[in-house]
Structures are given as C-alpha cells and as structure tokens.
Amino acid sequence: MLDDAHQRLRVLSSFENNNFIGDNFSGGAEWSYRNMFALRGSWFGTLNTPVDPVTGETTTVFASGDDVMNGWAFGAGAKVKTGGPDVGVDLAWKGVRRFFDDTVELALRLTF
C-alpha cells in the first residue's frame, strides 16, 4: 500500500464460499493522485466443482468471471473542487460474455 501527500494506492481482495454454486475470488486496486484523479481495476473468478451425473466424479474448473460477466472491470474518476459543492465524474467498464453487450456506467457526484 502506498500513501503519501500526493498519491495513494489501495489493494483489496475477498473470498466468498458458497454452498450451492462455485466459490468466488475477487480483487481490486485503486490509484489516486492528489485526491483529484483515480484509476481503478478489478478482477473476479469462480471456482466450480461439478459432479458428473454418470460416474459421480468431480472436477475442479476455474473461470474468470461467471456465467454472465467476464472477470475484469476498469474505471476512472475525477473530482473538481469549486467554491461551492465539489463535482466528481466516474466512469466504469465491465465486460460480459457476449461481445458488444459490455456494461458502461457514468456517474456524476455532488458533494456539499
């Protein structure tokens, strides 16, 4: 982790153990500069253990993402300090399994 007067790097991760579906692994990082600009990235994956109905054998399969989402997401943000409320803009991209169906989110933040 990096944290000084001009820039900060945060790294996070999580693990989710599920009973009836595969276990999930995820992680992300955010780098910010002067608390005004930020670059973000994340990844998640699923660990499945399907059982063959004929033989009863189990196999372990690791996939980047799940049935709908791909494992990677990226984003960026900017904040402008004004005389009144602070204004921020965030943009995020999340890939899905079907090409051209990706999710793009745009957010406008006002901090009073």
Pull the structure tokens for residue 105.
Answer: 């989110």
Q: How far apart are CA 93 and CA 105, in angstroms?
A: 7
- The per-residue pLDDT for 64 is 85
How do residues 37-53 score in pLDDT, each as one tens digit? 999 999 999 888 888 88
N-to-C CA span, the chain: 29
- The per-residue pLDDT for 86 is 86
Low-confidence ranges of the chain (pLDDT < 70): 1
Domain count, the chain: 1
Supply the DSSP string of the chain, one letter for each residue. -EE-SSEEEEEEEEEE--SSS-EEEEEEEEEEETTTEEEEEEEEEEEE--B-TTT--B--EEEEB-SSEEEEEEEEEEEE--SSSEEEEEEEEEEESSTT--EEEEEEEEE-
- The per-residue pLDDT for 22 is 82
- The per-residue pLDDT for 33 is 93
pTM above 0.85, yes or no: no
- The per-residue pLDDT for 7 is 93
Range of 99's domain? 2-111
